A = this chain, B = another copy of it.
C-alpha cells in the first residue's frame, strides 16, 4: 500500500492502471475510520483490481467552523486499518492543493434533493460535497465509488450528479453498519458523553419501531413521523433538526407510504449532531 498526497502523482499512477484496463474502486472518506468505512473498503477491494481510499476533511462541506475544527482524526490508525484491508493507494491531499487561492468553481445540485433534510439546516453542505466528490472523481477516475447509506441524502445527491454530468462512475450504496445495540456508526460518536451515548440509542430504536408500524400496515407518513418525534422528545438533551418520511430517490415528502420510502432524521444529542435513517420497501 502506498500513501500519496500530491494530486499529479496519484493521477500518473492511476492513469497507467486505467489504460491497463484495471478496474478502480474508490472510497472517499474524511478519515477517523470505523467499521462502517471498513465495510465499504472490503467491498471495493473484493470488486475491483485497484482500491483507492481518500482521507480528506473537506472544509467546503462544513457549515460550522466549530464542527470542522472538532472533527476527529487519527491518520496513523486509519492507515494501519487500510493496509490490513488490502487497499492499494491512500490519497491524503493537502487543503492548499485541493483549494488554491484562486479556487472559484462549485458543483451544485438544485431542488428538494439538496434543500430538504440535512440541506435545510446545513446551508451549502451538499455544494461542498458535490464539489469535492467531483474533484476526487476527476483525480481518481474510479469505475465504482462506494458510499454509506447512512448518509442517504449524500448518496441520492451524488447519484443525481453523476447522471446529470455524464460521469463514468457507478455509485454503489452500502448498508448502514450499526453497533450491537443499534447505534449507527459515525466518526462523530466519539464526541458523545457516556450518558449521551445511551440517549442516542433512541434514534435507531424509533426508526426500527417505525418500520414495524409500517410493516403492520400503517400507511400515513404523518402518524409515523409523529411517533418518532414524540419518542425522541421524551429525552431531555435531544434537539430534533428534522424527522422526515420521503421518496427514497427524489427525497420529496410523501403523505402515503408506498414504494421505496426513506425515513431519515438528524438530532442533536448534546453537542454532536447525529443522523440515521432506514429504507423500507412497501409493495
* Contacts from A to B (Cβ < 8 Å): 7, 11, 15, 19, 21, 100, 102-111, 113, 130-131, 134-135, 138-139, 141, 160-161, 163-168, 250
Contacts and interface: CB of A to CB of B under 8 A. Distances in A.
B105 A130 contact: yes
Contacts of A113: 104
A167 to B, nearest CB: 5
Contact of A108 (B106, B135, B160): B106
B138 A104 contact: no
Contacts of A106: 107-110
A105 B164 CA distance: 6
Given A102-B163, A106-B107, 12 more contacts: A7-B166, A11-B168, A15-B168, A102-B250, A104-B113, A105-B109, A105-B110, A105-B130, A106-B109, A135-B166, A138-B165, A139-B166
Contacts of A141: 168
Contacts of A163: 100, 102
- Counting chain B CB atoms within 10 Å of each CB, the highest count among A105, A106, A111, A130 belongs to A105
A10 to B, nearest CB: 10
Which residue among A21, A138, A141, A161 has the maximum number of chain B CB atoms within 10 Å of its CB?
A138
A3 B192 CA distance: 60
Enumerate the 5 nearest inter-chain pairs by beta-carbon distance, A residue then B residue, closest first: A105-B164, A138-B166, A104-B110, A104-B111, A105-B161
Nearest to A106: B108
Contacts of A131: 165
B104 A107 contact: no
B105 A108 contact: yes
Contacts of A138: 165-168
B11 A165 contact: no
16 contacts: A15-B168, A100-B163, A102-B160, A103-B164, A104-B113, A104-B164, A105-B130, A105-B161, A107-B107, A107-B108, A107-B165, A135-B164, A135-B166, A138-B165, A138-B168, A141-B168
